[in-house]
């Protein structure tokens, strides 16, 4: 499978007459862009903003991040989600780089939503503070979940994807500045030198723990709750086969942008043919019952063994009971004789003394840790808030609270905030971005 | 160096003046000898004894060092010390004692 | 939590689906349940079956409370 | 640096005497006395007082000794407290740890000590105060005191963070996140670790698996029909309206709710109970809370005489994201309440 990713670096974003890309500048016709957003009747109010690194802006509740792209030939960027089902990971896709589309609720947030600061101390906590962002801030008529803590955010997330596809079409007929060829030939056809290198698989455990439709990560539009671990080509993941869900405490979340750019996959590609033979991605999931967790772990170990993997990296989207899936998977791979490394965050509590994962096993002896979900973060007020600051305290964001005996409310009158890392939008960068680790103090 | 010996050294130095004293060590081990030199020159390194923080700077040698050895009657040295000289790590001891002496002794032989 | 209650000298049985989690946190008497969102009654099954599951599993937990154990024990149900 | 320090040492290093003076009661002297001088040589601030206490006095009257020392310190202004170094001396190590912990709790200043790895005081108190690995005997006084004093200088003048592996004190089981100065990403770290592991080379896991802390198994109940049984749950089942505002994740609160006279828990639709747990799909629990807190089944057992009585209240909190530390505290509080209510057996349901 071969994917050619045509990159268009975005140095500046501005509103203007016509949506177009020229010499690093993305110009957006706001009215036309919003009309794409309003294609869904559930969107009752929408606006677009542009934010850049260093802007004194706080975004909350942030629901999703997407890289704008165009699929050559006009097929859906997210097959099975924004259009018909088709093979992702093959052919040509164009991407607007160094930017993302951020989707922010105009009023209402939920457990799974997060916060981004574009400047100051808070900016170090999320990758998206480093990007130029087109912010869709909107409200919907999804009354059934307005006051619910768990929100599907369906209308907003889909609007974000439509908007990304719309922006992607700006480079439809243009030549990319740079083309990256991502190619892994069929495993059986790989040349002899590769055979001498150790085979490595990447095992992903995207969030899939809701029984009800509409909350989980999707694979080609299919709810990952309903799947068993399966072998995927890494190109599929990078090319829109996977989209983010709306369920997990936000710092643990993998946004759709994260799937499209997955640093662990990129790193394995870099090492392919140099130090290892990248066999592929085993797409697993996270489950609610023990039997399901064990079944998935067993499937993962079996697929990895069948492929002849000597090494594996496992990444977990979440914490709490999914740690049982994570540990089960690490143990199953180790027991199959495969050297395994895990990547996850931890929950050591505000004081740092709690047990890092809820399920642990001494066989999991090589772990990368990307942060503590309960770490307290205190940030000064920001000049501008896009969305609604009160959502952090009011709507049950996983890192916010209405009141606390010791700490007071998450949102203070002067606009300063105190929250748990939990609410940092994709803050733990488990897909590989994180420059955070955990240390003993 | 135990607390009693520290007290004795301190008293003698007060009585006769540190410039008029010479401490000769007979310890069998390098580290302990070094500590003893330090104690009578720069003060008790463990800070537990009377010499804690007291910098006498005394001249201090190990009995195995040539300066002392040459001053002793050969027969006596042969009878009393030479056996030990064969089983001890003489170089180590001398090296250690010398190091501390050069660092802290204000007086020499 | 089970550990702290047991430390206080109260005999406790933990009913949990995630046996590895209960084990890691140090619970001593463990009775498995059927899932996380519905430990004691699968909504997809008829009422009487859910009742049976609940009655049997809670019964097993009561048995566990009356059982002397030497080590951390996961009690079998049914 | 105009910071003030107080030093704790034992009778030996305080020049009171050896074993014969080990019953020496605590006293406080101005300035750096005895071994406190070794710290004074490296500490950039001022050592204003030295507390000296006999090791035996401390170990046989720990409470009294601690109380007396805390009282001595009450009116003194100080920024940091040093205890030791204690080398391999067990009683001395214990004394440094105990008094250090008490001072830290009472005055909220950093406390620094040093002990040899064989000193049991290190294992006992490394969670409470900073303890540096030290030599076996007083011969290492200068080195050990230097480490303590230098860390004291650092902690009083810089903002941190102070990771254990960088500064060298014993790991304390306190894990916090840390931005790597080299900005090496998780992807790069994972690949490095994997390549090393596959080659059989040394690597360092960023999350070493700690040992599980076990409690003594409570004895079996002889006859449940004579006993009051209580239900406890981490499934977040609360009265609709959540009167105690228990958090739906990272909970720090628990509630107890009266079920006297109830045959079962009524559901959310009938304004009875619902789950506020955000870690799983709430539909099944909202529809029938007995699926999580089986009041109905226990009523049946009560009626059949299988159990003596179902306790009139059930206890609840939320498990998801709730740190083990918080869970332990809430467990202790609930246990206290259960004991007061005469409950002898508990069924804990978790989701």
Contact A288 C24 (CB under 8 A): no
On whether residue A435 sits in a domain, the answer given is no
User: What's the pLDDT score for residue A416?
Assistant: 98
User: What's the pLDDT score for residue D22?
Assistant: 92
User: Of A74-88, A140-154, D190-204, where does mean pLDDT reach its minimum?
Assistant: A140-154
Interface of C with A in 19-78 (CB under 8 A): 19-21, 23-25, 32, 34-37
From the candidates C14, C33, C36, C43, which should be mutated to test the interface with A, based on the most A CB atoms within 10 A? C36
Tell me how far apart the alpha carbons of residues C19 and C27 are, in angstroms, rounded to a whole number: 10
User: Of A24-38, D147-161, D290-304, D324-338, where does mean pLDDT reach its minimum?
Assistant: D324-338
Q: What is the mean pLDDT of residues A344-352?
A: 93
| CB burial of residue B66 (10 Å; 0-12, 13-18, 19+) | exposed
The more confidently predicted of residues A330 and D17 is: A330
Contact D324 C25 (CB under 8 A): yes
From the candidates A207, A215, A290, which should be mutated to test the interface with C, based on the most C CB atoms within 10 A? A290
On whether residue B19 sits in a domain, the answer given is yes
Closest by CA to C4, choosing from D279, A347, D220, D326, is: D326
Beta-bridge partners for D235: D318
Long-range contacts of B90-95 (CB under 8 A, 24+ apart): B90/B64, B92/B30, B93/B27, B93/B29, B93/B30, B93/B33, B93/B62, B93/B64, B94/B62, B94/B64, B94/B65, B95/B30
The more confidently predicted of residues D221 and C26 is: D221
User: What's the pLDDT score for residue B2?
Assistant: 84
On whether residue B11 sits in a domain, the answer given is yes
Nearest to D139 among B3, B46, B50 (CB): B46
CB proximity A124 to D under 8 Å: yes
Q: Subunits touching A (CB < 8 Å, at least 3 pairs)? A: C, D
CB contact set of A219 (below 8 Å; sequence gap of 6+): A206, A227, A232, A241, A242, A283
Contact D331 C1 (CB under 8 A): yes
User: What's the pLDDT score for residue B85?
Assistant: 86
Cβ–Cβ under 8 Å, residues A310 and A339: yes
Per the structure block, which two tokens stand in for C29? 């008497």
Report the percent of chain A where pLDDT is more than 90.
Answer: 92
Tell me how far apart the alpha carbons of residues B57 and A405 are, in angstroms, rounded to a whole number: 62
**pLDDT tens digit string along D203-245?**
999 999 987 778 899 999 999 999 999 999 999 999 999 999 9
Report the percent of chain A where pLDDT is more than 70.
Answer: 100
Q: Where are the beta strands (DSSP E) in D61-174?
A: 80-83, 111-115, 130-133
Tell me how far apart the alpha carbons of residues A270 and D195 are, in angstroms, rounded to a whole number: 13
Long-range contacts of D102-107 (CB under 8 A, 24+ apart): D102/D66, D102/D69, D102/D70, D103/D69, D103/D70, D103/D73, D104/D128, D104/D129, D106/D70, D106/D73, D107/D73, D107/D78, D107/D81
CB proximity A44 to D under 8 Å: no
Which residue in chain D is spatially nearest to C52 when comparing CA positions?
D297
DSSP code for A438 = E
Q: What is the mean pLDDT of residues A237-255?
A: 97
Domains of chain D: 4-167 (3.40.50), 224-349 (no CATH)
Number of other CB atoms surrounding residue A418 within 10 Å? 20
Q: What is the mean pLDDT of residues D14-41?
A: 93
Q: Do chains D and C touch (3 or more CB pairs under 8 A)?
A: yes
As a whole number, the mean pLDDT across chain A is 96
Which residue in chain D is spatially nearest to C3 when comparing CA positions?
D215
From the candidates C1, C14, C21, which should be mutated to test the interface with A, based on the most A CB atoms within 10 A? C21
Domain that holds residue A132: 2-423
Number of other CB atoms surrounding residue A172 within 10 Å? 12
Contact D281 A271 (CB under 8 A): no
Closest by CA to C52, choosing from A15, D297, D140, is: D297
Number of other CB atoms surrounding residue D158 within 10 Å? 9
Judging by DSSP bridges, how do beta strands D46-53 and D4-10 pair with one another?
A: parallel
Tell me how far apart the alpha carbons of residues C58 and C39 are, in angstroms, rounded to a whole number: 11
Cβ–Cβ under 8 Å, residues D41 and D53: no
Contact D177 A421 (CB under 8 A): yes
Q: Do chains C and B touch (3 or more CB pairs under 8 A)?
A: no
Cis bond leading into D85, ω under 30°?
Answer: yes
Cis bond leading into A61, ω under 30°?
Answer: yes
Q: What is the mean pLDDT of residues B97-105?
A: 93
CB proximity A347 to D under 8 Å: yes
Nearest to D185 among A268, A366, A433 (CB): A433
- Output the CA torsion B25→B29→B32→B35 (10° steps): 60
CB proximity D227 to A under 8 Å: no
**pLDDT tens digit string along C45-61?**
999 999 999 999 999 99
User: Of A244-258, B65-79, D26-40, where does mean pLDDT reach its minimum?
Assistant: B65-79
Predicted confidence band at A143 (pLDDT cuts at 50, 70, 90)? very high
On whether residue B50 sits in a domain, the answer given is yes
CB pairs under 8 A between C and D: 180
Contact D191 A354 (CB under 8 A): no
Q: At what angle do helices B3-16 and B30-41 cross, to 10 degrees?
A: 40
On whether residue A287 sits in a domain, the answer given is yes
Half-sphere exposure of D317 (CA within 13 A, CB side): 24
pLDDT higher than 70, residue D261: yes
Predicted confidence band at B42 (pLDDT cuts at 50, 70, 90)? very high
On whether residue A431 sits in a domain, the answer given is no
Nearest to B46 among D18, D36, D138 (CB): D138
Residues of D in contact with B52 (CB under 8 A): 15, 34-35, 37
CB proximity C41 to D under 8 Å: yes
Nearest to D323 among A310, A349, A436 (CB): A349
Domain that holds residue B96: 3-104
User: What's the pLDDT score for residue D191?
Assistant: 98
- Phi, psi (5° rounding) for residue A244? -70, 155
Domain count, chain A: 1
CB proximity D198 to A under 8 Å: yes
3-class SS of residue A71: strand
Q: What is the mean pLDDT of residues A347-356?
A: 90
Tell me how far apart the alpha carbons of residues B17 and B12 are, in angstroms, rounded to a whole number: 8
**pLDDT tens digit string along D335-345?**
999 999 999 99
Residues of C in contact with A358 (CB under 8 A): 18, 21, 24-25
Predicted confidence band at D321 (pLDDT cuts at 50, 70, 90)? low
Beta-bridge partners for D90: none
CB contact set of B51 (below 8 Å; sequence gap of 6+): B1, B6, B9, B10, B39, B40, B43, B44
Q: What is the mean pLDDT of residues A102-118?
A: 97
**pLDDT tens digit string along A292-318?**
999 999 999 999 999 999 999 999 999
Cβ–Cβ under 8 Å, residues A275 and D194: no
What distance in Å separates residue D240's CA from the closest CA in chain A?
13
- Residue extents of the structural domains in chain C: 2-74
On whether residue A236 sits in a domain, the answer given is yes
Predicted confidence band at C78 (pLDDT cuts at 50, 70, 90)? low
What distance in Å separates residue A255's CA from the closest CA in chain C?
25
CB proximity D184 to A under 8 Å: yes
Predicted confidence band at D139 (pLDDT cuts at 50, 70, 90)? confident
Residues of A in contact with D278 (CB under 8 A): 111, 149-150, 396, 398
CB contact set of A368 (below 8 Å; sequence gap of 6+): A341, A342, A343, A344, A437, D186, D189, D190, D193, D206, D207
Angle at D21 between CA D16 and CA D26, to 5 degrees: 70
**pLDDT tens digit string along A42-66?**
999 999 999 999 999 999 999 999 9
Contact C40 D292 (CB under 8 A): yes
Which residue in chain D is spatially nearest to B33 when comparing CA positions?
D139
Distances (CA, A) of A351 to A45, A420, D20: 42, 12, 43
């Amino acid at each position: 499978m071969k994917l050619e990713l045509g990159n268009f670096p975005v140095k500046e974003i501005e509103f203007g007459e016509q949506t177009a890309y020229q010499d690093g500048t993305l110009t957006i016709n706001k009215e036309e862009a919003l009309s794409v957003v309003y294609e869904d009747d559930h969107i009752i109010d929408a606006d677009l903003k542009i934010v850049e690194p260093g802007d004194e802006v706080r975004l909350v509740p942030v629901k999703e991040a997407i890289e704008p792209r165009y699929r050559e030939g006009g097929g859906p960027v997210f097959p099975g989600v924004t259009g018909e089902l088709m093979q992702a990971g093959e052919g040509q896709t164009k991407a607007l780089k160094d930017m993302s589309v951020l989707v922010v609720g105009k009023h209402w947030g939920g457990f799974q939503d997060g916060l981004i600061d574009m400047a100051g101390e808070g900016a170090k906590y999320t990758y998206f503070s480093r990007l130029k962002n087109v912010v869709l801030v909107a409200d919907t008529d999804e009354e059934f979940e307005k006051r619910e803590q768990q929100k599907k955010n369906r209308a907003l997330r889909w609007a974000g994807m439509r908007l990304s596809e719309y922006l992607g079409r700006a480079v439809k007929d243009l030549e990319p500045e740079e083309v990256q060829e991502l190619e892994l030939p069929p495993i059986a056809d790989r040349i002899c030198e590769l055979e001498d290198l150790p085979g490595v698989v990447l095992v992903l455990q995207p969030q899939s723990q809701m029984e009800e439709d509409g909350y989980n990560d999707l694979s080609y539009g299919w709810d990952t709750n309903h799947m068993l671990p399966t072998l995927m080509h890494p190109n599929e993941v990078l090319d829109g086969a996977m989209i983010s869900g709306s369920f997990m405490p936000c710092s643990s979340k993998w946004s759709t942008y994260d799937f499209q750019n997955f640093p662990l996959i990129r790193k394995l590609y870099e090492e392919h043919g140099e130090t290892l033979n990248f066999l592929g991605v085993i797409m697993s999931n996270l489950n609610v019952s023990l039997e399901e967790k064990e079944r998935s772990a067993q499937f993962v170990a079996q697929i990895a063994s069948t492929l002849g993997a000597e090494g594996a990296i496992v990444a977990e989207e979440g914490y709490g009971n999914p740690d049982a899936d994570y540990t089960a998977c690490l143990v199953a791979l180790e027991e199959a004789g495969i050297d395994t490394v895990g990547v996850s965050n931890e929950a050591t509590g505000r004081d740092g003394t709690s047990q890092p994962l809820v399920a642990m096993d001494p066989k999991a002896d090589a772990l990368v840790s990307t942060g503590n979900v309960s770490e307290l973060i205190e940030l000064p007020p920001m000049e501008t808030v896009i969305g609604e600051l009160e959502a952090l305290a009011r709507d049950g964001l996983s890192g916010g609270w209405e009141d606390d005996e010791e700490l007071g409310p998450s949102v203070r009158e002067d606009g300063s905030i105190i929250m748990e890392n939990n609410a940092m939008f994709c803050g733990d960068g488990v897909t590989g971005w994180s420059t955070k680790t955990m240390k003993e103090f | 160096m135990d607390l009693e010996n520290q007290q004795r050294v301190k008293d003698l130095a007060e009585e006769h003046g540190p410039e008029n004293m010479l401490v000769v060590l007979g310890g069998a081990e390098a580290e302990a000898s070094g500590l003893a030199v330090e104690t009578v020159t720069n003060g008790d390194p463990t800070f537990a004894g009377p010499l804690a923080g007291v910098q006498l700077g005394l001249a201090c040698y190990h009995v195995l060092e040539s300066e002392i050895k040459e001053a002793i009657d050969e027969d006596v040295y042969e009878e009393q010390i030479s056996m030990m000289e064969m089983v001890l790590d003489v170089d180590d001891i001398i090296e250690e004692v010398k190091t501390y002496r050069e660092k802290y002794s204000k007086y020499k032989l | 939590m089970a550990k702290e209650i047991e430390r206080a000298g109260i005999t406790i049985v933990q009913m949990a689906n995630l046996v590895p989690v209960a084990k890691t946190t140090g619970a001593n008497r463990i009775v498995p349940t059927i899932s996380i969102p519905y430990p004691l009654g699968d909504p997809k099954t008829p009422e009487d079956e859910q009742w049976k599951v609940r009655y049997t599993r809670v019964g097993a937990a009561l048995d566990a409370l009356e059982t002397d154990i030497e080590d951390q024990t996961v009690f079998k149900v049914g | 640096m105009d910071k003030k320090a107080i030093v704790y040492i034992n009778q030996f290093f305080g020049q009171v005497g050896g074993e014969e003076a080990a019953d020496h009661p605590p006293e406080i002297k101005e300035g750096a006395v005895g071994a406190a001088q070794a710290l004074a040589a490296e500490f950039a601030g001022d050592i204003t007082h030295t507390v000296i206490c006999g090791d035996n006095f401390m170990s046989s009257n720990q409470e009294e000794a601690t109380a007396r020392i805390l009282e001595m310190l009450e009116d003194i202004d100080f920024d940091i407290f040093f205890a030791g170094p204690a080398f391999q001396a067990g009683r001395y190590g214990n004394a440094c740890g105990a008094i250090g912990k008490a001072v830290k709790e009472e005055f909220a200043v950093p406390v620094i000590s040093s002990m040899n790895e064989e000193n049991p005081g290190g294992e006992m108190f490394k969670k409470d105060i900073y303890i540096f690995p030290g030599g076996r005997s007083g011969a290492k006084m200068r080195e050990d005191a230097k480490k303590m004093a230098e860390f004291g200088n650092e902690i009083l003048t810089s903002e941190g963070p102070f990771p254990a592996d960088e500064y060298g004190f014993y790991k304390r089981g306190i894990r916090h996140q840390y931005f790597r100065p080299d900005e090496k990403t998780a992807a790069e770290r994972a690949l490095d670790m994997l390549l090393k592991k596959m080659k059989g080379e040394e690597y360092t896991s960023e999350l070493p698996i700690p040992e599980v802390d076990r409690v003594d198994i409570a004895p079996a109940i002889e006859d449940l029909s004579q006993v009051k049984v209580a239900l406890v749950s981490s499934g977040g089942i609360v009265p609709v309206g959540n009167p105690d505002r228990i958090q739906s994740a990272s909970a720090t609160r628990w509630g107890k709710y009266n079920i006297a006279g109830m045959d079962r828990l009524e559901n959310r639709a009938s304004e009875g109970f619902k789950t506020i747990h955000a870690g799983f799909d709430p539909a099944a629990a909202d529809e029938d809370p007995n699926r999580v807190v089986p009041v109905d089944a226990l009523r049946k057992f009560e009626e059949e005489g299988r159990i003596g009585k179902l306790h009139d209240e059930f206890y609840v909190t939320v498990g998801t994201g709730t740190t083990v530390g918080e869970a332990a505290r809430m467990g202790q509080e609930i246990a206290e309440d259960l004991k007061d209510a005469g409950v002898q057996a508990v069924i804990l349901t978790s989701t």
